[in-house]
Amino acid sequence: MILEVRHRSGQRLTVEVDLAKPPTLVGAPPAPGPEVCLNWDQAVDDQGFLRRCPVCGCRDLYFRKDFYRLTGLAVVLLAAILAMLLFGGPWLYLVVAVLGVIMVVDFAIWRWGSGRLVCYQCGSGFSKLPVPRDHPRWDAATAARYKHE
Ligand SMILES: [Zn+2]
């Protein structure tokens, strides 16, 4: 599992963690960055799913797809430009083909793209770990509850 911690100091710490032998302290010298204590008590359930944030103990984690916004914006802009250049000409079938390819790429990213769990309270991220298919996605009401705490 890859753990990305947002430390109170504003620094980020990225550490690879072996769930079979989880560490209780990461980022300790000589590693650069902040030192973070991890509490794995009840963090992982019997099926190996992360149910609690080992950084802050929060039980509310949401699943988020990893998608680079700049890549998505570039793909949409490229498709829009190609569609505008080809529209109105004799190559209308190419416009439909370009939009179809973009739709297939978008579906592939949505379906098979990697994802991560994110803690509502501390913002730490957990990737490259098993996540149940029905794990909750981001919820505005839950996020608002932690924003005011
Ligand atoms: Zn947390």
What is this structure's pTM?
0.74
What was the pLDDT predicted at 45?
Answer: 92
Interval 55-91: pLDDT, tens:
999 999 999 988 777 777 888 888 888 878 877 777 7
Task: Judge whether 9 and 35 are in contact, CB under 8 Å.
Answer: no
CB proximity list for 30: less than 8 A, separation 6 or greater? none
Between CA 135 and CA 103 the distance in angstroms is 25
Distance from residue 52's CA to the centre of ligand 1 (Å): 8
Distance from residue 120's CA to the centre of ligand 1 (Å): 7
Between CA 69 and CA 19 the distance in angstroms is 30
In this predicted structure, the answer to whether residue 54 has a pLDDT above a threshold of 90 is: yes
Distance from residue 35's CA to the centre of ligand 1 (Å): 15
Interval 87-97: pLDDT, tens:
777 777 877 88
24: tokens are 């209780």
